[in-house]
């Protein structure tokens, strides 16, 4: 054991700078945030220790209930429409075999588009006037102009549409990479048995994607619960607060109200909620994902 310990000293010395940098820039902000959540500060005036008062203020804020509801509504719609789409696209591309590269490039183009540019472009698409791009298309089939981002009822679905377009490419690439592990003879055997495309997808492709699908589902839930850029640039949280999400409320606490203590307190609550959700999800799906 003494020889093994001495042999590991050089490796430990080489690893110490990396570990130090990791602790400083990864865990340092987390610890700083936990400490700040117990303070009342605007980063200018002297710090006041208030204990759990920030958490009480956040939990009793009427805006929190609306923000949580908006976030959950967006998450539900994003999972309902945006989660199956990359799976279907990956299955379609896998069936194309040698010609799938062109469709892969097209699917990934929205991902490499800068988010601000994409959102500004989609704001032009969502023009509520009759001459707006989407309303022009709807008018061609006899449907009147839609308010899109200007109505509380259609603002969140409109953001879901843009977010699905922008984020589907990442998931498609991951699913296609996972499909490379599926043996070609399984597809050939299914084709010889007379299985069509849908049956090959259901009985051959999806069983091999089971573990990846569960991981992507968890990641998408965590990502949609942290929606921020789209409501900030599309609507600023309006109309009537219908697109104010939890992260946008954190932003308002910090950069509008100047209350960084309340902002970090809500951030800590969000992190705890997502951690509990992740733990519950892993426990609930562990057996199914390993079958």
pLDDT for the residue numbered 3:
64
Q: Where are the domains of the chain?
A: 53-290
The helices-and-strands tally (H runs, E runs) of the chain is 16, 2
How far does CA 59 lie from the centroid of its chain?
24
C-beta neighbour count of 191 within 10 angstroms: 14
pLDDT of residue 213: 87
Average pLDDT, the chain: 86
* pLDDT score of 61: 93
Q: What is the pLDDT of residue 16?
A: 87
Full-model pTM: 0.87
Do 166 and 115 contact (CB within 8 A), yes or no?
A: yes
Half-sphere exposure of 146 (CA within 13 A, CB side): 19
> Residue 94: pLDDT band by 50, 70, 90 thresholds?
confident
Place 97 in a pLDDT band, splitting at 50, 70 and 90: low
Rg (CA), the chain: 24
- Residue 79's Cα: distance from chain center in Å? 10
The three-state secondary structure class of 247 is: helix
pLDDT of amino acid 210: 81
Q: Residue 201 — φ and ψ, nearest 5°?
A: -65, -45
pLDDT at 131: 87
**pLDDT above 70: percentage of residues in the chain:** 89
Collapse the DSSP code of 227 into the 3-class scheme (helix H, G, I; strand E, B; otherwise coil) and give the result: coil
pLDDT value of position 197: 66
Q: What is the pLDDT of residue 100?
A: 64
Summarize pLDDT for 138-196 with one digit per residue, the tens: 999 988 899 999 999 999 999 999 999 998 888 888 888 887 777 766 666 766 677 66
Q: By mean pLDDT, which of 24-38, 70-84, 174-188, 268-282 is the weakest?
A: 174-188
Backbone angles phi, psi at 40, to 5 degrees: -110, 110
Fold of 53-290: MetI-like fold (1.10.3720)
In this predicted model, what pLDDT tens digit does every residue of 223-253 receive, in sequence order? Answer: 999 999 999 999 999 899 999 999 999 999 9
Nearest CA among 272, 261, 231 for reference residue 55: 261
How many whole angstroms from its chain centre is CA 177?
Answer: 20
**CB distance 289 to 210 below 8 Å:** yes
Mean pLDDT of 112-137: 90
Q: Check pLDDT > 70 for residue 5.
A: no
């Amino acid at each position: 054991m003494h020889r093994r310990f001495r042999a590991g000293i050089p490796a430990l010395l080489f690893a110490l700078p990396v570990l130090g940098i990791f602790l400083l820039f990864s865990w340092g902000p987390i610890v700083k945030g936990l400490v700040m959540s117990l303070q009342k500060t605007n980063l200018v005036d002297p710090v006041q220790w208030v204990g759990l008062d920030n958490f009480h203020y956040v939990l009793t804020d009427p805006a929190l209930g609306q923000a949580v509801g908006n976030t959950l509504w967006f998450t539900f719609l994003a999972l309902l429409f945006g989660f199956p789409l990359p799976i279907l696209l990956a299955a379609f591309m896998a069936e194309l075999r040698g010609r799938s590269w062109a469709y892969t490039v097209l699917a990934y183009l929205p991902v490499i588009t800068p988010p601000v540019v994409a959102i500004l472009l989609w704001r032009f698409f969502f023009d509520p006037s009759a001459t707006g791009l989407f309303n022009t298309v709807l008018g061609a089939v006899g449907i009147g102009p839609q308010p899109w981002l200007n109505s509380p009822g259609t603002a969140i679905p409109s953001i879901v549409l843009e977010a699905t377009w922008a984020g589907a490419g990442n998931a498609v690439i991951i699913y296609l990479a996972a499909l490379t592990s599926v043996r070609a003879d399984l597809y050939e055997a299914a084709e010889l048995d007379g299985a069509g495309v849908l049956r090959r997808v259901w009985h051959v492709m999806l069983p091999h994607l089971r573990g990846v699908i569960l991981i992507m589902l968890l990641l998408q839930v965590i990502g949609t619960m942290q929606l921020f850029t789209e409501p900030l640039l599309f609507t600023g949280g309006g109309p009537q607060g219908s697109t104010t999400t939890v992260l946008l409320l954190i932003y308002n606490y910090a950069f509008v109200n100047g209350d960084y203590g309340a902002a970090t307190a809500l951030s800590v609550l969000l992190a705890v909620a997502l951690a509990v959700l992740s733990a519950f999800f892993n426990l609930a799906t562990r057996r199914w994902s390993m079958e």
